[in-house]
């Protein structure tokens, strides 16, 4: 079987590695990949947004299965385009992907289906958002307000403002950071308090299979200080959610979401990602993503025992209920190594040292890497590597990851020392 993975980050490296382990796979292509992916897959020079070119490539190369990593291609309708041509592809349809691509759509969807989430109001323009705040009808005097750009914003569209005045300032700045299109609508949200957990699932429209719960670290500096990033590290640990919490999440969130998608005519097929806040009153949905996260994927896939191809086939055949999706026991941790200047402006082209060493139960997934003419691996993006370790318990997984991190270096490398703490 020939598989095509769409994307170029650490997530896609983890996907390629996992496909490589399947006996059913004879060849992996990745569009457009990175220097680490090039060791397990043939790179294809097509960007994820070029969905017509990707579909033509899949036809010409008789690709048996395509797996989409990121949201850009999904929101553009890559799944619909492939299916129209009779190609097999795993990912959310354009309509399903609106759960991620439009925060206002997701909020109204949750309201329609009684899915617990933060209270909110939708403004049709930045000006209306300011008016709503000034009217005093939204939020409590002196309390934090969350301001969200409606559209895809690569993690830069959300500001948790300390009060209404700060929220106004955030609204006025939002357009500059995320662009006009993403702020055609703005969502104002009540601020929730609690611990954040992400729960991902494989979904076939009808049935689902949960993955181990994960937690990510979004800020650039330790103790969650500094700017937001794409993610500086993640852990997967069964103790992030108790059995009772998981059962309630299934009943109050997962099942109503799956049912809601079916009722509204877009059964959810692919990877569904629930960003949750565990409040004193129970779990609330912060957001949906219609895909795997990065670096959540890395810690999840190193724990997957079942053949990923089998799971993909079950998603396509709607037989996830008949497929046992099994996971290794224990925990895993991913420490992201980023380039100097990230997340503002990352410095690239630095030679990476220490990649020749091997560690047990450690996978070094490449994100922003390239090779120079001498064959050295060099930095080629903000997040460069995701050092991912697996163990019987969390503290051992973290220890293993940092031991490997200690062997890797380049000029200006930065990382957090508190992942999983
Ligand atoms: N209603 C809320 N209350 C408290 N914090 C929130 C709320 N909504 C979002 N956040 C914080 O902002 C982060 C980003 O918001 P999210 O909706 O996940 O947007 P995105 O991931 O698209 O940037 C969340 O991980 C969470 O830390
Ligand atoms: Mg998020």
Q: The domain spanning residue 335 has which CATH number?
A: 3.90.600.10
Token digits for 272?
């569904």
Ligand 1 near 155 CB (within 6 A): yes
In the chain, how many domains are there? 4
100 within domain boundaries = no
103 within domain boundaries = no
Q: What's this model's pTM, rounded to 2 decimal places?
A: 0.97
Which of 272, 300, 322 is the endpoint of a domain?
A: 322
Residue nearest to atom 11 of ligand 1 (CA): 160
Ligand 1 near 158 CB (within 6 A): yes
Q: Using CA atoms, how far apart are residues 30 and 204, in angstroms rounded to an integer?
A: 24
- What radius of gyration do the chain's Cα atoms show? 21
Strand partners, 145: 161, 190
Ligand 1 near 196 CB (within 6 A): yes
CA–CA distance from 156 to each of 178, 283, 352, 405 (Å)?
Answer: 7, 24, 28, 28
The contacts of residue 165 (CB under 8 Å, 6+ apart) are: none
Closest ligand to Cα 153: 1
Task: Identify whether residues 217 and 310 lie together within a single domain.
Answer: yes
Q: Using CA atoms, how far apart are residues 332 and 61, in angstroms rounded to an integer?
A: 36
Task: Identify whether residues 227 and 309 lie together within a single domain.
Answer: yes
339 within domain boundaries = yes
CATH code at 268?
3.30.470.20
Task: Identify whether residues 291 and 394 lie together within a single domain.
Answer: no
Which of 93, 111, 140 is the endpoint of a domain?
A: 93
Token digits for 83?
């299916």
Pairing of strands 383-391, 331-338: antiparallel
Task: Identify whether residues 177 and 205 lie together within a single domain.
Answer: no
Q: Using CA atoms, how far apart are residues 180 and 177, in angstroms rounded to an integer?
A: 9
99 within domain boundaries = no
Burial (CB count within 10 angstroms: exposed 0-12, middle 13-18, buried 19+), residue 376:
middle
Q: Using CA atoms, how far apart are residues 122 and 347, in angstroms rounded to an integer?
A: 38
Pairing of strands 2-7, 27-32: parallel
Q: Using CA atoms, how far apart are residues 286 and 306, in angstroms rounded to an integer?
A: 29
227 within domain boundaries = yes
Is residue 378 a contact partner of residue 352, using CB atoms and an 8 Å limit? yes
Q: Using CA atoms, how far apart are residues 1 and 24, in angstroms rounded to an integer?
A: 6
Task: Identify whether residues 316 and 378 lie together within a single domain.
Answer: no
Neighbour count for residue 86 (Cβ, 10 Å): 7
Residue nearest to atom 27 of ligand 1 (CA): 196
Closest ligand to Cα 194: 1
Q: Using CA atoms, how far apart are residues 157 and 145, in angstroms rounded to an integer?
A: 14
Task: Identify whether residues 58 and 142 lie together within a single domain.
Answer: no
Closest CA to 416 of 235, 154, 155, 224: 224
Residue 195 alpha carbon to ligand 1 centre in Å: 12
Task: Identify whether residues 347 and 314 lie together within a single domain.
Answer: no
108 within domain boundaries = no
Ligand 1 near 177 CB (within 6 A): no
413 within domain boundaries = no
296 within domain boundaries = yes
Tens place of pLDDT per residue across the chain (421 aa): 999 999 999 999 999 999 999 999 999 999 999 999 999 999 999 999 999 999 999 999 999 999 999 999 999 999 999 999 999 999 999 999 999 999 999 999 999 999 999 999 999 999 999 999 999 888 888 899 999 999 998 888 999 999 999 999 999 999 888 888 888 999 999 999 999 999 999 999 999 999 999 999 999 999 999 998 999 999 999 999 999 999 999 999 999 999 999 999 999 999 999 999 999 999 999 999 999 999 999 999 999 999 999 999 999 999 999 999 999 999 999 999 999 999 999 999 999 999 999 999 999 999 999 999 999 999 999 999 999 999 999 999 999 999 999 999 999 999 999 999 9
User: Residue 221: which domain range?
Assistant: 195-322
Return the H-helix or E-strand segment holding 286: strand 282-289
CA–CA distance from 162 to each of 102, 147, 167, 177, 187 (Å)?
Answer: 24, 11, 7, 19, 16
Ligand 1 near 146 CB (within 6 A): yes
Which of 184, 207, 232 is the endpoint of a domain?
A: 184
Helix boundaries (H) for 71-205: 71-76, 78-84, 94-101, 103-112, 126-135, 164-178
CATH code at 42?
3.40.50.20
Question: What number does the ligand 1 atom closest to the CA of 157 have?
Answer: 23
């Amino acid at each position: 079987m020939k598989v095509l993975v769409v994307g170029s980050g650490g997530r896609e490296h983890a996907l390629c590695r996992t496909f490589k382990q399947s006996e059913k796979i004879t060849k992996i292509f990745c569009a457009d990949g990175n220097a680490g992916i090039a060791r397990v897959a043939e790179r294809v020079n097509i960007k994820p947004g070029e969905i017509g070119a990707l579909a033509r490539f899949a036809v010409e190369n008789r690709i048996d299965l395509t797996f989409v990593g990121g949201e850009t291609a999904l929101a553009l309708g890559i799944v619909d385009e492939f299916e129209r041509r009779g190609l097999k592809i795993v990912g959310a349809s354009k309509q399903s992907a609106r759960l991620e691509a439009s925060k206002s759509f997701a909020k109204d969807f949750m309201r329609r289906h009684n899915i617990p989430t933060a209270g909110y109001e939708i403004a049709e323009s930045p000006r209306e958002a300011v008016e709503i705040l000034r009217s005093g009808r939204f939020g409590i005097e002196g309390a934090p307000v969350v301001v969200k750009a409606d559209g895809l914003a690569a993690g830069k569209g959300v500001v948790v403002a300390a009060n209404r005045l700060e929220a106004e300032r955030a609204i006025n700045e939002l357009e500059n950071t995320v662009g006009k299109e993403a702020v055609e609508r703005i969502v104002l949200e009540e601020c929730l308090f609690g611990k954040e957990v992400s729960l991902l699932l494989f979904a076939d429209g009808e049935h689902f299979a949960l993955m181990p719960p994960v937690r990510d670290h979004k800020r650039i500096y330790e103790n969650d200080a500094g700017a937001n990033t794409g993610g500086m590290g993640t852990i997967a640990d069964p103790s992030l959610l108790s059995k009772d919490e998981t059962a309630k999440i299934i009943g109050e969130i997962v099942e109503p979401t799956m049912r809601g998608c079916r009722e509204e005519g877009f059964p959810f097929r692919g990877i569904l990602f629930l960003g949750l806040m565990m409040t004193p009153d129970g779990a609330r949905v912060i957001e949906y993503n219609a895909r795997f996260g990065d670096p959540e994927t890395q810690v999840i896939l190193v724990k997957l025992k079942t053949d990923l191809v089998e799971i993909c086939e079950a998603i396509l055949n709607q037989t996830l209920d008949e497929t046992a999706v099994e996971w290794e026991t224990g925990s895993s941790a991913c420490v992201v190594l980023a380039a100097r200047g990230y997340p503002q402006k990352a410095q690239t082209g630095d030679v990476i040292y220490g990649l020749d060493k091997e560690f047990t139960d450690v996978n070094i997934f490449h994100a922003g890497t390239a090779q120079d003419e001498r064959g050295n691996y060099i930095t080629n993006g903000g997040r460069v590597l995701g050092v991912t370790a697996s163990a019987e318990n969390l503290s051992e997984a973290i220890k293993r990851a940092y031991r490997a991190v200690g062997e890797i270096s380049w000029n200006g490398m930065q990382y957090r020392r508190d992942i999983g703490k």
